[in-house]
Structure 1
Amino acid sequence: MNHEIEALLREDLRGKSPYGAPQIDVPVALNTNENAYALSEAVRDRIAAYIGAELEHLNRYPDRDATALREDLAAYLGHGLEADNVWAANGSNEILQQLLQAFGGPGRTALGFMPSYSMHPLLARGTGTAFTDAGRHGDYTLDAEYVAARVKEHDPDVVFLVSPNNPTGTALDPETVRAAYEAARGVVVVDEAYAEFARDPESTALNLLAGRPRMVVTRTMSKAFAFAGARVGYLAADPSVVEALLLVRLPYHLSAITQAAARGALASAGELQAEVDQLRAQRDRIVETVRHWGLPVADSDANFVLMGGLADPHAVWSELLDRGVLVRDIGLAGRLRITAGTPDETTAFLEALRDTLRKRPDLFAND
């Protein structure tokens, strides 16, 4: 960076690195938790029809409150939610950023339980919110007693819980979410980006929203809807939370094209669910196979798996990459994260891992 520009940069941002995962052209990319299945022709046609209806009006600004989209999202979520319980933005990251703009900021704090979604501390830093890492148990799990104690100890303005958690893939018990809310005085955000992949989708924190005005559940269309390129995220909460976000959102932040495309994808939810089921099957196939090979791995409720038992995770990552398979080195000792892919992609990963196990046993060690 130019020294003159760096001198003008906020002091807390100097020397920092931006968020980013390796973008490498490989035959099998299993590193960013994308949906492995492209949208079908039928779904693409439906989305195109929704977009087409908007084209003649592109000279006008979009509905700045995304009313029709919020109605469709509320209908998709169920749980008695209505449009005024829902808010949408450009990816769940913008939703999280708006929450921190409204409820965090200079002089305020956010609490997370790392390792977890790495954007939470980055978004906190960008909004001038102090971020505290309360950690986890040695096996990366959380329970109600631990969470409540940390919330009471740090007394944050915003609490981040992630279920299923990224990168571990594990879901929180509803009692842990309840305990966090009861211990907190501020907003409790339950990040459910991978909720549709859970082994028990009915355990969602949406069940806990009624009567808890400080609880927020965030979701994304990037994963289950195979919509990562469209950038649509949303939340469900008490209407007063949505009203608060109107104070910080940019005018017309969600384009008419994006709103229309999202509505077309929501109209295809039933078809897309079949692919979610297929990805769950491949996720479980990875878990069962690597566990059979003696590598520790937790049962996952997401579309990815956190694999352990690695003496040198980056060297294993490199060996897999040499075999055309890209997974994610997230910097956790002894572990790599693998996104569930198509059956062929999963086979390619497992064959590459088996080959590496045979040829480089020195790279592996039991936890």
Structure 2
Amino acid sequence: MKTYKIAIAGFGGVGRATASLLLSRRMRYRDVYGADVRLVAVCGSRSGVADVDGLEEEQLLTLEDGFSGPAFIEASGADILIEAGPSDFRTGGPGLAYIRSALSAGRDTIVISKGALAHSGRQLRELARGSGAMLKLSGAAAAALPTIDLVGHSLKGCEVLSVEGILNATTNYLLDAMTTRGIGFDTALREAQQGGFAEADPRNDTEGWDTACKLLILANFGLGADLDMNDLTVEGIQSITGDRIEAWRSEGLVPKLVGSLTRVNGAFRAGVGIRTYPLADPFANIRGKDKAIRIVTDAMGETIAIGSGKEPLATAAAALKDLEHILTARIANPFRY
């Protein structure tokens, strides 16, 4: 039985959920893949813990100061990195340093945070190609909603003509609350913050930047585009008034914050903004914190997927789906790995 050593960089809510789910699935990895999967290191921004023989749940309760950074992950002997830190698309940090280090060393890498992928996607793709490391990112591309997997597997061989995505749960909740219950933006936002699923500073969500990052990742990593944030027009929902909501409602229309890609003369145009849908359209009925994507291809027509996983478990599960893809590839090519 082959041993696979896993390290997790970033140990907030998502990192902890990923660690817990991974430990609970160890028997599955043995039974399905013949793999002894060990969590050998975890770290946050300033502290961490490592054990070459594999960490147990109780060891994750207390991290030691000073055990952090790419050098700590390198010293752990991990074969696979799961990066789950905070996301900053303007700088790529703090995850960018971890991802660069892992890919440069040929370490397969699963990325959950979006910032580094949106900021330095081209460089990271080149590092992965150069070292032969696998780079997986389901958790960063709308998590439980299959986006990358759809274009990379289910629709493989087809030409994608257009994509529409309701990719941010917070903004969908806010718009749904404003539309169905008639409450204002500020009231809906306070409600979401009190419920624990809107950030204290929600601007990345409400101004459309989170959706833009996910759209960039799908375009560049899923569809082979080469876009950056300057190529997108980005508008959010923060300026939507009750009067606009009421006007749409009187016309039988439902507003959604949508990321869109359209192929024009072989290249993609991309943007984020409000689109309205008639009640008969599936997108008009995406409620609460649910997300959805619609992909139109040349040969398979229109495909719609809807995701409603509970966070942070859904994001953790998306990352560990990537881990199973890596285990499958390693088993299929044992001499390569």
TM-score past 0.5 threshold = no
- TM-score when scaled to structure 2? 0.34
- TM-score when scaled to structure 1? 0.32
Higher strand fraction: Structure 1 or Structure 2? 2
Looking at both structures, which has the greater relative contact order when contacts are Cα pairs under 8 Å and sequence separation is at least 6?
1
